[in-house]
C-alpha cells in the first residue's frame, strides 16, 4: 500500500488517473522502484486536481519534488 496525497480542495479531477499512469511509468523508466514511483505518481495526480482540465494542471517535475519534500 502507498498512501494517497491529501489536497486542500479538488477543483477538477479530469485526467488525474492519466496523470498518475504517466508519472508512474515515467518514474519506472527513470529507474525508480515501484513504491517510489507510486509515491511520486500519487503526488503528481493529486496536484493535477488543483486546476481545470486534463492537461493544463499537470505539475512539472520540480513541483512534484517540492511537494514530496514537504
Rounded to a whole number of angstroms, the distance between the first and last alpha carbons of the chain is 20
* Catalytic residue (one of 18, 32, 33, 60): 18
Q: What SS3 class is residue 50?
A: coil
State the Cα–Cα distance between residues 42 and 67, nearest whole angstrom. Answer: 11
Identify whether 18 is a catalytic site residue. Answer: yes
Q: Where in the sequence numbering do the catalytic residues fall?
A: 18
Amino acid at each position: 500500500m502507498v498512501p494517497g496525497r491529501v489536497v486542500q480542495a479538488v477543483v477538477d479531477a479530469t485526467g488525474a488517473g492519466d496523470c498518475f499512469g504517466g508519472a508512474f511509468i515515467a518514474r519506472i523508466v527513470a529507474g525508480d522502484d515501484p513504491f517510489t514511483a507510486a509515491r511520486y505518481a500519487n503526488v503528481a495526480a493529486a496536484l493535477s486536481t488543483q486546476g481545470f482540465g486534463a492537461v493544463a494542471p499537470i505539475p512539472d517535475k520540480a513541483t512534484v519534488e517540492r511537494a514530496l519534500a514537504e
